[in-house]
A and B are shown apart, each in its own frame.
Chain A
Amino acid sequence: MTTLLHRRYTDGQLNALIDSSPAEIATLTDDHRRSLTSRFRAVSLTQHRRLDAWAVEQAGRVGGPFHWSPSTARRVIANGALRRHLARPDTSMLVCVHDEIDAQLTRVVAGHVRPGSLASWLSTLSRPALGLTVAEAVNGATQLAHVANAIEREWQLPDSDAYYDVAAARTTLRARRDLIVDRDGARVVLRLRAGAPGKSAGPGLRADMTIDTLADLEGVAPSRFIGLWPEAGVMLCVDGTMADLRAGARDLVRTAVAQRRSALSLAA
């Protein structure tokens, strides 16, 4: 049976969720990986595809092309700014956001960016649009810092999101993660999200957790994966059990099937 807990977001409830995460954690073996790979190969496409929790929540519906905007750039810049703030606590969050954007723009000047990247988009912005991007990023970084500082256990900001390339299936899986909390050797992963959770938020969290487990070298699952919606003041979480990992993998494969059907009908 899969798990899904719903809690109101308070500092105390967040710490309680972390402390009560299960001690027994599932591990994915090579057989599990091979089995998943064969399923993805069966629904391969001619072009490369990237699947994430959002695709699962949208049941594979293909939206419009991705565009950078102050809202979509918020998370990347905010996480980078918070990392800078942790390294230099005496520096204000606003300065850290400016430093992060400056670092991105420096890469553009050095010619180390590809078209369509965040740095490339930032370099095209007018001063007011850049100001709005800074305002959004300050909001995001302050929110993430508030959540992180309320955690009583040791935590760290992940260096990147979790990625897993499915061999010979032209498929990359991506799991977003914002904080990793150490819980007696095991890990609890937190992801902050905008808006309010919908009916498919649970499957989305399971997909994130499954990808995070696949991206782990040893295949060890997080003991708990917590989704936090600060705007709604709500938390949802799933546990790192084998049933949840199986459900997450199943949803990812179903999403791939739905996308393939959609691509084939478009081609016809």
Chain B
Amino acid sequence: MTCAAAHSLLEPYLDGELDAAQQAQVAEHLATCGACAGMHAQLLELRAGIRQHAPYYRAPTGLQDRVRAAVRHAEGNSAGPWRWIAIAAALLLSVSAAWTVAMFRSRAAGDRIAQDVLSSHVRSLMGAHLLDVPSSDRHTVKPWFNGKLDFSPDVRDFAAQGFPLIGGRIDYVGGRPVAALVYQRRQHIIDVFTWPSAAAGGEPEGTYNGYHVLHWDFAGMAWWAVSDLNTGELRQFETLYSTPSGFSGRE
């Protein structure tokens, strides 16, 4: 084996990633070549140094309880979390969100998508996860979804009409990953969820505890918008969205 060949295999050798035959060839070369053996020794020394001097941070006491409580709460099993009085304050917000969702459930049982959309919106506002790609540039937001979804959402910006795009994220609605596009109207956040779908039906409009949900089908896609914005303006937003992009005036 030449030094050049051994050199390129040195790190995979060190990491145990070579097959037995290659591993043996490199070992053989190291036994006879001082220069390569020196490099190998340096790498070993670095590894030992990292393991000895760079701290492995173990989870602090209490984190496991905190994570478990959050997970159980999110999953709707509320038997556990109440024991942790220390996190009661943090839970207040979640409780009101859960109540909103629970109220909504009782009013519109069966409309699972509207329920998912509303839960997702409320959860995102709780600070859990509003944006994966914070950008007002639709040419940044649209490509971000490539490879993450099996479709490419129609991302449009309506800044000129007073509904600026602020970003997007992947969310999970109706048992599938969907694109969530996030817009802002003054202090109100509008989440728009979209995925390919034949006309799905469902109530086109609903109001649940101050949140308005609108639903329309356009260009082979299901669209759901949810916000605490008033219905009038939310409808105006829907009109913008269900107009072919060539007519939106900002292409």
Q: Do A and B come from one complex?
A: no
User: What residues of chain B have their CB less than 8 Å away from a CB belonging to chain A?
Assistant: none
